[in-house]
Amino acid sequence: MNEMIRFSQRLNTRDNTVDLSHGSGGRAMAQLIEALFIKHFDNELLRQANDQAAFNVSAGRMVMSTDGHVISPLFFPGGDIGSLSVHGTINDVAMSGARPLYLSAGFILEEGFPLADLERIVASMGEAAAAAGVPVVTGDTKVVEKGKGDGVFITTTGIGVVPEGVHISGERAQPGDAILLSGSIGDHGVAIMSSRENLEFETTIESDSAALHTLVAEMVAAVPEIHCLRDPTRGGLATTLNELAQQSGIGMRLDESAIPIKPQVAAACELLGLDPLYVANEGKLICICPAAEAERLLAVMRAHPLGREAAMIGTVSADPNGFVEMQTRFGGSRVVDWLAGEQLPRIC
Amino acid sequence: MKYVDEFRDRQLAEQLAKAIAAEADSAREYRLMEFCGGHTHAIFRYGVQDLMPENVRFVHGPGCPVCVLPIGRIDNAIQLVQQHDVILCSYGDLLRVPASKRMSLLKLKAAGGDVRMVYSTQDALRIARENPQRQVVFFAIGFETTTPPTAMAIKQAQTEGLENFSVFCNHVLTPAALTAILGSSESSGSGDVAIDGFFGPSHVSSVIGSRPYEHFAVHYHKPVVIAGFEPLDIMQSTLMLIRQLNAGRTEVENEYTRLVSRDGNTKAQALVAEVMERRAEFEWRGLGMVPDSALQIRTAFAAFDAEKRFALSAVSASDIKGCECPRILRGQKRPTDCKLFGTVCTPENPMGSCMVSSEGACAAYWSYGRFRQTQQQAQ
Amino acid sequence: MCLAIPARVVSIDTASDMATVDLGGVQKTVSLALVEGVQLDDYVLVHVGYALNKLDPEEAERTLQIFAEAGMLREAPS
């Protein structure tokens, strides 16, 4: 791959910015693809440089998932929009119990976006994909006029294959099932807020953004009868539990003192008047399983780096209204409802 | 978190619950109003009602400056953005409150209006410094806790000569609100909930001291206990109110002694007095015109008064038909008494402030407790 | 109303009348313009970016003591 022969100048990522020619299908775009995307995503399928990637599939159920990423700020403690998009789609695929195979990535770039930032993001995606063993095999780039995009938007799609005998789905929760959580809540949301304007506070909290597929693989291997898996991203733990309750037509009883939370996350939420139950996570999962399997699953989770603080946080109850109730740390009881709109910091 | 976690201790809660159960006289009801939205929030968040005997009931009062802000004032703020192209800086609490024509500050922002959420008046001052060619207006709300920071911002703007900065002042006063509630429950007489005692607000009292409440106890013969923010504070204060009621005492007691003194924060009070003065009257949502209940910016600081800088007409917007916010704010009805509650009016589609603000009685009921209410009613 | 929380003062900048406070490991800068005589390791009530008051540690201890005694000293309804 000799960039210098085909292009008159090396791509200058240090000083230059995205311009409309990068999305127009001509030489500039070809150079961008080669010097940035192919360089950092670096895999056989992508190097074939076709508009599509062709591969064989093994027998079994296939899973596909897609996500648009519009996060701001683009760079935050513990990650960036690039690593977030790779982890996010790997996780969505993995929550079906599937082994993720490949990713695609579509970029919508705003005219004027610094190439240095783009390279940083693409490099981060490449690292995340390589570490996870799930390559980005195909993609697309478009450029919009200045003012019509927020720097960069990324859409990732992932495919995977579900092992035989595994049926994980949101409507499978049964009364009596155990509700497990892989680790502390609120890390990602607090990390994002700490780097937003007007809410400056200093914390060492980093986003928990991570690819959970190897954790899921071990869990599913140990207990194929897992009923539900879901990662509590936007809207936090509370929203995801309510979704599952509604899908399965059951209720839940939680124990607040069993829910892991880092002291700094709790403190940041106190300062801003936020409820950590509604703050986003990007490297955690909820698992609903038959009660008899809970202990074994917890042991498997705790043995994995991403599940060290795994805990059983509640049980599924028979409840036609689908209420998620929680025994508070204080001894009383409260209902954990859906999030109404975006949670905003409050003074009252 | 020191001075926070100890006041949420479960074991102490159980002991206090036993004490309350033992001392509450089963022959009577205790209807205790928590004036402050923060107390409402804490009661629901920790499930404090569950630890109370049946005859001890919390009545949720209007202590939510967002809840009592009339729609017309939000309409004014919207006018500032739409007609005068200002940068409007607002606390997060206000962004979703429904104004007239189904508008809100959040919807205005979505439509391209320059509305910016701030955590502090200092952020608003910074925005003014960074945008010298634009007018920047800070939408000031809150009871006496939040007023000193606004006064400070005005003084700072004056010192810096920050000419593009002004304040749209909607600060309201707690004693006046208490008077309005007590007055209404005494005089109207039809279907009103008699309130036996009050939890005084925690942080308002930290600023104004316990002294302003003393005449309530005397004049209206109701006990007041100034209660801290944490659930154990609320329980201890409940016990203190029960003791007063049992003994026929009507005093002002202070449970929140670690942050409230009789005189309060005199430095903050002096600052507010320097910059602001009382309005003759001010419209409160649900309470109508209340005399001596709100603050305006003094003439000496008129240069920073958005109401003087921009021609704002008083908009008297009526509440939505069927919305019971006015009576809920006075403790005369419960959220479940409102026909709109849970049907037309939900957190996703709030009709009135009580549902929008997380401090509002309706939002609190909805988020934390409505299921229990319906379960109890079904029994 | 009035979401406010006590936090520990870990550094003071007298020139700007600001302080850094720590709550559970999270640090925030607040203005000291509304309080007086604040020293390092004092706890202040923090509200909308300002310190509103100093917490009295002795009173805090006394209050906790009262909670603890609630189970022991009981007044029967008269």
- Are B202 and B233 in contact by the 8 Å Cβ rule? The answer is yes
pLDDT value of position B20: 96
* Percent of chain B residues topping a pLDDT of 70: 92
Contacts of C29 in chain B (CB under 8 A): none
Q: Average per-residue pLDDT in chain B?
A: 88
Half-sphere exposure of B73 (CA within 13 A, CB side): 25
Binning pLDDT at 50, 70 and 90, where does residue B378 land? very low
Distance from CA of A70 to the nearest CA of C (A): 27
Give the tens place of pLDDT for each residue, A178-193.
999 999 999 999 999 8
Contacts of A344 in chain B (CB under 8 A): 92-93, 95-96, 117
CB atoms within 10 A of CB A195: 15
CB spacing of A330 vs B1 below 8 angstroms: no
Residue C73: is its pLDDT beyond 80?
no
Q: What pTM does this model have? A: 0.89
Exposure b/e, B257-273, CB count within 10 A at least 16 = b = bbbbbeebbeebbebbe
| Pairing relationship of beta strands B115-117 and B276-278 according to DSSP bridges | unpaired
pLDDT value of position B338: 92
Nearest CB to C63 within list B207, B247, B258: B258
- Which residues of chain A fall short of a pLDDT of 70? 1-6, 197-200, 340-342, 348
Token match 């026929």: residue? B248
B24 touches chain C (CB under 8 A): yes
pLDDT value of position A286: 98
This complex has an ipTM of 0.90
Residues whose CB falls within 8 Å of the CB of residue A245, separated by 6 or more in sequence, listed in order: A173, A251, A252, A319, A322, A323, A324
Give the tens place of pLDDT for each residue, B188-218.
444 455 789 999 999 999 999 999 999 888 8
Q: Where are the beta strands (DSSP E) in A128-199?
A: 136-144, 152-162, 178-181
Half-sphere exposure of B40 (CA within 13 A, CB side): 30
Beta-bridge partner residues of A110: A144
Q: Which two tokens stand for residue A318?
A: 């028979």
Amino acid at A214: T
Binning pLDDT at 50, 70 and 90, where does residue C17 land? very high
Distance from CA of C58 to the nearest CA of A (A): 23
Residue A55 zone, left/alpha/beta (φ > 0; ψ -120 to 50; rest): beta
- Are A161 and A63 in contact by the 8 Å Cβ rule? The answer is yes
Amino acid at B269: Q
Give the tens place of pLDDT for each residue, B250-264.
999 999 999 999 999
Helix intervals (H) in chain A: 3-6, 27-32, 39-41, 44-47, 81-94, 115-132, 187-194, 213-222, 236-248, 263-272, 294-302
B37 touches chain C (CB under 8 A): yes
Distance from CA of B217 to the nearest CA of A (A): 26
- Are A152 and A113 in contact by the 8 Å Cβ rule? The answer is yes
Q: Determine the residue of chain C that is closest to B27 in CA distance.
A: C77
Residues B203, C16: Cα–Cα separation, whole Å? 25
Residue bearing the bigger pLDDT, B373 or B319: B319
pLDDT value of position A13: 82
Please, is B110 exposed, middle or buried when counting C-beta atoms within 10 Å of its C-beta (0-12, 13-18, 19+)?
exposed
Distance from CA of C60 to the nearest CA of A (A): 19
Give the tens place of pLDDT for each residue, B228-253.
999 999 999 999 999 999 999 999 99
Distance from CA of B378 to the nearest CA of C (A): 32
Contacts of B357 in chain C (CB under 8 A): none
Secondary structure of A242-256 as H, E, C letters: HHHHHHHCCEEEEEH
pLDDT value of position B319: 65
Instruction: Check residue A228 and report its DSSP letter.
Output: E
pLDDT value of position C76: 47
Contacts of A256 in chain B (CB under 8 A): none
Output phi, psi for A157, to 5 deg. -125, 140
CB spacing of B122 vs C49 below 8 angstroms: yes
Q: Which of residues 288-327 of A touch B (CB under 8 A)?
A: 321, 323, 325
Amino acid at A322: G
Contacts of A184 in chain C (CB under 8 A): none
Nearest CB to A202 within list C7, C26, C46: C26
pLDDT value of position A33: 87
- Are B104 and B98 in contact by the 8 Å Cβ rule? The answer is yes
CB spacing of B10 vs A325 below 8 angstroms: no
Residue B96: is its pLDDT beyond 90?
no
Contacts of A186 in chain C (CB under 8 A): none
Return the H-helix or E-strand segment holding B160.
Answer: helix B147-160
| Separate counts of helices (H) and strands (E) for chain A | 11, 13
Residues B176, A41: Cα–Cα separation, whole Å? 66
Biggest CA-to-CA distance, chain C: 58
Give the tens place of pLDDT for each residue, B99-156.
888 889 999 999 999 999 998 899 999 999 999 999 999 999 999 999 999 999 999 9
C10 touches chain A (CB under 8 A): no
CB spacing of A334 vs B47 below 8 angstroms: yes
